[in-house]
Structure 1
Amino acid sequence: MVIEIPELFSADEVRSFRQALEQADWADGRATAGHRAAQVKENEQLALDHPLARQLADRVLARLMQTPLFIAAALPSRVLQPRFSRYDGRGHYGNHVDNAIFPIPGTGEHLRSDVSSTLFLSDPDEYDGGELMIEDMFGTHAVKLPAGHLIVYPGSSLHRVAPVTRGTRFASFFWTQSFVAAPERRRLLLELDGAIQSVASDHPEHGSIDTLTQVYHNLLRQWSST
C-alpha cells in the first residue's frame, strides 16, 4: 500500500529546512547502509549525531503525530529518528530492501521497519531524475512529489532512487514499527477507518457507525502486536 500525504510541511516550512540543510556538512551515505545496500548506494547523508539532524528530526516527528492520515495508515508504535539525504551529480540508490530491524541509538532497543516513509524537500522542477521507484504486487510506482509531501509504503518493498542528472534532491526518510505488522491488515484497517469517517461525516446519526467502530477496534485488538 503506497499512500501520499500531501503538505506535511508548508512551502515556508520547507524553505527553512532547506536553508539549514544547504549549509550543513554532509557525510558519505554508504556509512549507514547494510552490506548489500552499500554496493548500490551513492548519496550523502546528515550524520545522525549532527545537532541539525536532531533538531529537524524532532520537527518531523512532532508533525507526524499531528497528522491523522499518517497515524491511520502506519498505526505507529514507534518511529525511528528521521534521517536526511542529498543526491546530486548522478547520485542514486539501486534496488534494495530496507533492513528488517534497526537499532535505536542510545537505547539498546530495536525497531522493526514495517513502514518506510520519504519526505520530499525539493520540488520536482529543481532536479531531473531522482524518482523513488517502489515495487509491490500492483507493479512499480514512480514517485516524485512536491516539497513538503510525504510518501508512505511497506518496508518490505523492493525500491530504489533513480540517478539525479540535474540539480539536487533533498529528502528525509525514516522507518516506523507499526502496531500491526502485516501490510495487508493495515490496508484493511485504513479502508475501514476511511469508511467510518465518511459515514460519520455524511450521516452522523447513522446507526452503523458504532458497529463499524466496534469492528475496527476489535480487529485492531486482534491483530495488534501489543
Structure 2
Amino acid sequence: MLLAIENVLSNQELANVRGLYAKARFGDGRVTAGELAAKAKNNLQLAANAAETQVLTGIVHDALHCNPLFVSAALPKVVCPPLFNRYVPGMDFGTHVDNAIRISAVTLRADVSGTLFLSEPEEYSGGELLIEDTYGVQTIKLSAGSLVLYPSSSLHRVEPITDGHRDVAVFWVQSMVRDIAQRSLLFQLDASIQGLRARSPESPEIVSLVSTYHNLLRMWADI
C-alpha cells in the first residue's frame, strides 16, 4: 500500500526543522547504506550523533505518533531514528530495495518505508521519488511537511537533482502486523469506521465494526 499523508508537520514544526537544516553540517550519505545500496546512493546526510539529529528525531517521531492516519496505516511497533538527507545538483539514489533488517540505535525488521519531505517542490528540479508497485511506477514529489509511506519491499529510486536542494527525512517501521495484505485490510476497515462515525455517530453498526477490527488486530498482531 502506497499512501501520501499531508501536513504531518505543522507550520511551526516545519520551520524548526528547516532552521536546524540550515545550520547543520552534512557528510557522505553512503556511510549508512548496505553494500549494494552504497553503489547507488549519492547524497548528503546528518551524522547520527550530531546535536541537530537528536532534536530533529524528536520532532519527527512526535509528529508521526500524533498522526492518526500514519498510525492506522503503519500500525507501528518500532519506528527507527530517521536519516536526515540532503540532495544537491548531480546527486541521486539509483534503483534499490531497502534492507530487510535495519541495524542502528534500534534494530528492526523494515516493513514500511517513509519519506518525509522537508523542501517545497518548487525549491528544486528533478529529485522525484519513483516507487514501483503493482500499478506501475509512481512518481512522488510532495509539499514540505508531507509524507509518503510504501512497502519496504518496493523497488524505488530518487531521480537526479538538477537545481536547488532536496531535503528529506527517511525512516522505517516494523509494524505490529507483518503481512501487507492484512495491514491494508485493517487500514480500509478503520477508514470505513471513521467515515461512518463522522456521518452517523449513533449508528449501531459502529460497535460491531470496531469489535471486528480489534478482533482481527488481536489475531494478526505480533507485539
Output the TM-score relative to the length of structure 1. Answer: 0.96
SS of the residue aligned with 1:47?
coil
C-alpha contact (below 8 Å) 1:11/1:147 kept by paired residues: no
CA offset at residue 15 of structure 1? 2.6
**Structure-1 separation of matches of 2:35 and 2:177:** 28
SS of the residue aligned with 1:19?
helix
Specify the code of the residue in structure 2 equivalent to 1:42.
N
- Pairs within 5 Å for 1:201-216: 201-216=198-213
Specify the code of the residue in structure 1 equivalent to 2:114.
S
SS of the residue aligned with 2:103?
strand
CA offset at residue 225 of structure 1? 1.4
Specify the code of the residue in structure 2 equivalent to 1:13.
E
Percentage identity across aligned positions?
Answer: 46
SS of the residue aligned with 1:39?
helix
C-alpha contact (below 8 Å) 1:196/1:212 kept by paired residues: yes
Aligned to 1:76: 76
Aligned to 1:4: 4
What residue ranges of structure 1 are gaps of 5+ in the alignment? none
RMSD: 1.1
- Pairs within 5 Å for 1:147-186: 147-186=144-183
Specify the code of the residue in structure 1 equivalent to 2:206.
I
CA offset at residue 76 of structure 1? 0.4
**Structure-2 separation of matches of 1:110 and 1:8:** 25
| Residue 114, structure 1, aligned to residue 111, structure 2 | yes
What residue ranges of structure 2 are gaps of 5+ in the alignment? none
**Structure-2 separation of matches of 1:144 and 1:128:** 10
CA offset at residue 102 of structure 1? 1.1
Specify the code of the residue in structure 2 equivalent to 1:20.
L
Instruction: Give the aligned length.
Output: 223
**Structure-1 separation of matches of 2:217 and 2:163:** 45
**Structure-2 separation of matches of 1:219 and 1:54:** 36
Output the TM-score relative to the length of structure 2. Answer: 0.97
